[in-house]
Amino acid sequence: MKLQTVIDHLKTGEFQFTNLGDNDEENVSSNNLPMIVNNINLALIDLYKRFNLSLRELYVQQYAQIQKYKLSSEHAQSNTASEELKYLIDTDDDPFTDDILQILEVFNEVGCKLPLNDSNDCNSLFTPKHNVLQIPCPVDENAVVIVYRAAPELLKSTCNLSAEVDLPITFLEALLYYVAYRLKSSRPDQESQNEGNNYFAKYNEAIAVIKVEGLYNSTNTSNLKLIARGFS
């Protein structure tokens, strides 16, 4: 959906009686649009943490001398500006963009799921950080496929109202409640704080409805290719 859609709903809904702008007629203006956009971005991040709205794959080439693989674009093949070892296999058409929120699963080249963070399994891999994969016994020429929960594409503070908000329309109500919660809670007076708490409660209620009624298509690993790409 477009940013204009979100702004229109804010003007006629949550903020229709709140002057957030630089005049009495417009409560969302060019002056405070960057603030609104920033809070929309925070809402997107929170929703993407709560739901599998975007799952992606990342292929990691193993090297016998490396146990810990930092999943950073500086190690991506598509990043020709970096001189770091390129053990992340991506393409110019689909580059890795440092968008990992959480590593969910790891597979070998033939699609078999590997144990993860299981200290009782001698074959387990580990994630000491959100963007680090530890392979205790790496083997040259082997590779693994990481499935991770990806972050949303965030809006730029200078974007125009035709910019795309990376969220299904079924999440619009929750998004509006979160933005209202953030803006109200940022004010020092007790009344605004109470309003912010009320909006946060509504936000959680809206999320519960989405989950109960299945108002989103949960991406899962069976939708992903998980096919070896001829690592070399």
Residues 6+ apart with CB under 8 A from 163: 2, 3, 155, 156
Residues forming a β-bridge with 177: none
Cα 11 off chain centre by:
26
Give the whole-angstrom CA distance, residue 143 versus residue 140.
8
Token pair listed for 55:
């799952």
What's the confidence (pLDDT) of residue 31? 67
Residues across the chain: 232
Residue 145, Cβ density class (10 Å: 0-12 exposed, 13-18 middle, ≥19 buried): buried
- Phi and psi at residue 108, to the nearest 5°: -85, -175
Query: What's residue 150's pLDDT?
Result: 95
Rg (CA), the chain: 21
Evaluate the CA torsion angle 93, 97, 102, 105 in order and state its sign: positive
Distances (CA, A) of 210 to 38, 119, 121, 221: 24, 35, 36, 21
Instruction: Give the global pTM.
Output: 0.80
Closest CA to 73 of 101, 109, 107, 100: 100
As given in the structure block, the two tokens for residue 68 are 């810990």
Cross-strand partners of 103: 148
Per-residue pLDDT tens digits of the chain, which is 232 residues long: 999 999 888 888 766 655 554 444 445 555 678 888 999 999 999 999 999 899 999 999 999 999 999 999 999 999 999 999 999 999 999 999 999 999 999 999 888 999 999 999 999 999 999 999 999 999 998 999 999 999 999 999 888 889 999 999 999 999 999 999 998 888 888 888 898 899 999 999 999 999 998 877 665 555 455 544 444 4
